[in-house]
Amino acid sequence: MSHWKELFAEIVSTDVCCGCAACVLVCPHHVLDYDFSMEKPFQTDEQRPNSCSHGETGCEICALACPRLDHETGVWRWNWPQLEESLYGRTRRSDEVFGGYMQVLLARASDPKIVANAQDGGVGSAIILHGLATGALDGAVVSAFDGNQMTSPKLVTTPDEVLGTARSRYTYCATPLALRDAAAARLRKVAMVGVSCEISAAPKMAASGVRKWSNRIALTIGLMCSETFLPQPFLEQKIQGDYGVDMSKVEKINIKGKIVIDRSDGEQVNIPLDECRSLARDWGCPFCPDFSAEHADISLGGLGMEG
Ligand SMILES: Cc1cc2nc3c(=O)[nH]c(=O)nc-3n(C[C@H](O)[C@H](O)[C@H](O)COP(=O)(O)OP(=O)(O)OC[C@H]3O[C@@H](n4cnc5c(N)ncnc54)[C@H](O)[C@@H]3O)c2cc1C
Ligand code: SF4
Ligand code: SF4
Ligand code: SF4
């Protein structure tokens, strides 16, 4: 039986941890909390950073939820075959290099207001809005935007909140944490939006029986992802410092072979991607095997496309 001790030794302290916060979400004794500046979980009892008394007496829920730990052996392992079996009833074929899928589509929201507010085609926002309008969803956990391109997990339940939190932030945002607010509001049909590593937490919880949380997730919307940037060097030093862009006047940041920054005055600033490579996280992401959010119900990406 594995618990926080193995999670800490095998995943967190080795930098395999992606920072998805699934372990923090599910911990029933509030032993774990999330360090937003380090983008990692930590044990709140400073005397025992690497262990947990509840774990020693039988609790294993954090280990069950972690998408990077094999909870049976207590070691780092990609649980992909287990997740594929639980999601699709089979493991992937050898030609399914970016995961099992039903269809690949080029799509865009038909409502121009959604497209104008969104990152690429607005499909992510359109699906959530449709879910809220039809009653298929009663909320979504997404990434909120504080005006300076910084992120925080947020539960949205209204069309204004959905459009107000659309577009991409290229820094990490542990969206699963906002499921706590969904539980507090007694919502039962919640869409979870997240980059690939966050999405894998949903089927890992379902497959290992952490159903209190997985049952609440009615839909997973994955964002294709190959890296995230560190807020301070990327936003403050590079964009604001080196390029003199006032972050409070940034409309949108997109990555299309280069960093494309749309300012609210209509001007565009381009930054070569190579200049920013060293500003990406050097933990979690270098170990990540999943670009296409393989375990999402629908995965969205816009590389090579405009609008
Ligand atoms: C960190 C990151 C890296 C990405 N890398 C690639 C890539 O390499 N190639 C590619 O093709 N696409 C990538 N994407 C996906 C792309 O930027 C768009 O999110 C995707 O095309 C969907 O566009 P949309 O117009 O449908 O989304 P929208 O309708 O604008 O909806 C986007 C949703 O994503 C949520 N969101 C925004 N930022 C984050 C975040 N940091 N973490 C979790 N949720 C968030 C928003 O709150 C909103 O709900 C990346 C996205 C992110 C966040
Ligand atoms: S073992 Fe249980 S109580 Fe301890 S950190 Fe993990 S989930 Fe929390
Ligand atoms: S990968 Fe996610 S669940 Fe696993 S230790 Fe890191 S934050 Fe917790
Ligand atoms: S590259 Fe992988 S680990 Fe890093 S943020 Fe994206 S999905 Fe998560």
Please tell me if the CB atom of residue 193 comes closer than 6 angstroms to any atom of ligand 1. Answer: yes
Instruction: Report whether 220 contacts 197 (CB < 8 A).
Output: no
Please tell me if the CB atom of residue 228 comes closer than 6 angstroms to any atom of ligand 1. Answer: yes
Q: Quick one: which H or E segment has residue 34?
A: strand 32-35
| Position in ligand 1 atom list of the atom nearest CA 142 | 47
Please tell me if the CB atom of residue 173 comes closer than 6 angstroms to any atom of ligand 1. Answer: yes
| Position in ligand 4 atom list of the atom nearest CA 293 | 7
The verdict on 120 and 184 lying in the same domain is yes
Distance CA 129, CA 158 (A): 8
| Position in ligand 1 atom list of the atom nearest CA 305 | 11
Please tell me if the CB atom of residue 305 comes closer than 6 angstroms to any atom of ligand 1. Answer: no
Q: Tokens for 227?
A: 């890296």
The verdict on 204 and 143 lying in the same domain is yes
| Position in ligand 1 atom list of the atom nearest CA 128 | 49
Instruction: Report whether 187 contacts 139 (CB < 8 A).
Output: yes
- The answer to the question of residue 98 being in a domain is no
The verdict on 162 and 204 lying in the same domain is yes
C-alpha of residue 227 to centroid of ligand 4, in Å: 5
Query: Dmax over Cα atoms in the chain, in whole Å?
Result: 59
Distance CA 110, CA 158 (A): 19
Per-residue pLDDT, 305? 83
- The answer to the question of residue 14 being in a domain is yes
Q: Tokens for 62?
A: 């954090």
Please tell me if the CB atom of residue 27 comes closer than 6 angstroms to any atom of ligand 3. Answer: no
The verdict on 289 and 165 lying in the same domain is yes
Per-residue pLDDT, 58? 95
Distance CA 298, CA 107 (A): 12
pLDDT lower than 70: segments of the chain:
147-149
- The answer to the question of residue 95 being in a domain is no
Please tell me if the CB atom of residue 284 comes closer than 6 angstroms to any atom of ligand 4. Answer: yes
- The answer to the question of residue 235 being in a domain is yes
The verdict on 50 and 124 lying in the same domain is no
Please tell me if the CB atom of residue 218 comes closer than 6 angstroms to any atom of ligand 1. Answer: no
Per-residue pLDDT, 149? 60
Q: β-strand 69-70 against 258-263: which pairing, if any?
A: unpaired
- The answer to the question of residue 220 being in a domain is yes
The verdict on 159 and 62 lying in the same domain is no
State how many domains the chain has. 3
Per-residue pLDDT, 18? 97
CATH of the domain at 254: 3.10.450.750
Per-residue pLDDT, 165? 96
Q: Which residue from 104, 113, 119 has its CB within 8 A of the most atoms of ligand 1, so it is best to mutate?
A: 119
Nearest residue to 198 (alpha-carbon basis) of 234, 153, 242, 159: 153
User: Using one digit for the tens of pLDDT, what is the confidence trace for 30-68?
Assistant: 999 999 999 999 999 999 999 999 999 999 999 999 999
- The answer to the question of residue 136 being in a domain is yes
Classify 42 as helix, strand or coil.
strand
Please tell me if the CB atom of residue 171 comes closer than 6 angstroms to any atom of ligand 4. Answer: no
The verdict on 58 and 137 lying in the same domain is no
The verdict on 203 and 140 lying in the same domain is yes
C-alpha of residue 270 to centroid of ligand 3, in Å: 34
- The parent domain of residue 243 ranges over 231-279
Distance CA 249, CA 3 (A): 45
Sign of the Cα torsion 248, 251, 254, 259 reads negative
The verdict on 147 and 188 lying in the same domain is yes
Per-residue pLDDT, 172? 96
Distance CA 177, CA 20 (A): 8
- The answer to the question of residue 106 being in a domain is no
